[in-house]
Structures are given as C-alpha cells and as structure tokens.
C-alpha cells in the first residue's frame, strides 16, 4: 500500500514539473525564431522603372539619310522617307522612297570627254514595299533612371528603280536596329541591298547596290 502511494506521489510531482517548464521552453523557442528572422531578413530597396510602351501607335513615319554604293558609279549620298504599319509586335509592312545622284564611272574619268549618261540620267530614285520581322527585343540601361527599348529586324520586298532614264524591277533585303527613345520617337540604324538587272554597258548585268543609313521616325 505504501509503495503504491509513493508511485502516485512521484507521478503527480513529475506531471507538475512538466506543466511548469513547458511554457518556458516554448517561449524560449519562439524568441530564438524571432531573433533569427530579424538577423536574416534583408532590407532591399527596389528601383521603380517606368517603361514606355507603343500603346496603339501602329503607324510609323520616318526620314533617313545615308550612303548608297552603286556598282560602277561610286558611293553617293542618299535621302528619303518611309511609312510603315505595324501589324503586330513582330510583323510590319514598310513603304520607302529614296533618291541619290551618281558619280561618273571610272571609264568616263579615264577617257576624258566621254560621258555615258547625261546629268539628269545620273539621278537615281527608288521606291519599294517590304515586309519586316522584329526579333531580339531588349532594353538598354543608360542609368539608374533611364531605360530604353530596342530590337533588331529583318525585311524583304520589291519595287522599282529609276536610273539612266529607265525603270528596273528591284528586289530589296535589309536588316537593322531600332532604338526607342520614347513611346513615339525612334532611331533606326540599318542596311539595305537593292538588286536589279541593267544593260547600260551593252550586256545584261545584275548588280546589288548596298545602302547604309540612319533614320528618325515618329509613331502615331
């Protein structure tokens, strides 16, 4: 009987000690977790960047100036304008018009007074319609507050070249980089290749005139 009473007394004593110490252990564990969270929580200040979008401005009107290398007639300045419609973010159609004045050929310069073309016939003009594809969309970070959109593009089309008082069917391919300074203004650095066949020197000859240019365009 005494042994049984001793067992009950010891059990009650252990239960009381456990009920007293358990809240203390829980409180110590919670305090450790709070201190750990304060130590590892980073204090990060995120930059707020405002990015301009093209919104619904699908039309693009541009002007350009550059250099046109005309086979047998030297490298000459070229100027013109473009009008484009952006069908989607990736695809667009562009109409272009350009004009240039050619130099004398090396044969004319070496022969003295021989002139293959008159002054008016040396004027070259072209127009074409092309389909373009935008790709590699990205951003250029100029500073902590200035970020500009840009992308590369490819294009191909066809049109007409008026040169030496004749019209020539012309195919055009090109590539470029478009850099958006705002949501309505862009810079365009590009190259074009204009290919057609002529018989100015007696035999049919296919040439490709390479053009490099810098353009400025507005969206509306």
77 lies in a domain? yes
Dist. CA 198–CA 201, nearest whole Å: 8
Do 10 and 92 share a structural domain? no
Dist. CA 200–CA 192, nearest whole Å: 23
pLDDT at 32 over 70: no
- Average pLDDT on 131-153 reads 87
Do 214 and 149 share a structural domain? yes
> What's the pLDDT at 25?
45
pLDDT digit string, tens, across residues 5-16:
566 656 665 666
The total number of structural domains in the chain stands at 2
Helix (H) or strand (E) holding 76, with range, is: strand 75-86
- Weakest mean pLDDT among 99-108, 109-118, 158-167: 109-118
14 is in which domain, residue-wise?
Answer: 1-44
Helix (H) or strand (E) holding 10, with range, is: helix 2-40
Do 210 and 158 share a structural domain? yes
Q: Of 109, 215, 200, 199, whose CA–CA distance to 153 is shortest?
A: 215
């Amino acid at each position: 009987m005494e042994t049984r009473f001793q067992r009950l007394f010891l059990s009650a004593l252990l239960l009381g000690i456990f009920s007293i110490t358990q809240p203390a252990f829980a409180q110590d564990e919670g305090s450790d977790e709070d201190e750990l969270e304060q130590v590892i929580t980073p204090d990060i200040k995120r930059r707020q960047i405002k990015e301009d979008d093209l919104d619904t401005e699908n039309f693009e009107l541009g002007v350009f100036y550059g250099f046109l290398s005309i086979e047998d007639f030297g490298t000459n300045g070229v100027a013109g304008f473009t009008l484009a419609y952006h069908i989607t973010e990736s695809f667009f159609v562009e109409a272009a018009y350009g004009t240039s004045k050619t130099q004398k050929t090396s044969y004319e310069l070496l022969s003295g007074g021989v002139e293959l073309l008159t002054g008016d016939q040396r004027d070259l003009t072209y127009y074409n319609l092309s389909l373009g594809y935008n790709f590699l969309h990205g951003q250029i970070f100029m500073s902590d507050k200035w970020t500009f959109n840009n992308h590369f593009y490819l294009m191909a089309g066809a049109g007409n070249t008026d040169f030496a008082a004749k019209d020539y069917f012309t195919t055009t391919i090109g590539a470029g980089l478009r850099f958006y300074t705002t949501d309505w203004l862009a810079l365009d650095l590009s190259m074009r290749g204009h290919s057609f066949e002529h018989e100015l020197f007696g035999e049919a000859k296919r040439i490709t005139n390479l053009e490099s240019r810098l353009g400025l365009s507005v969206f509306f």
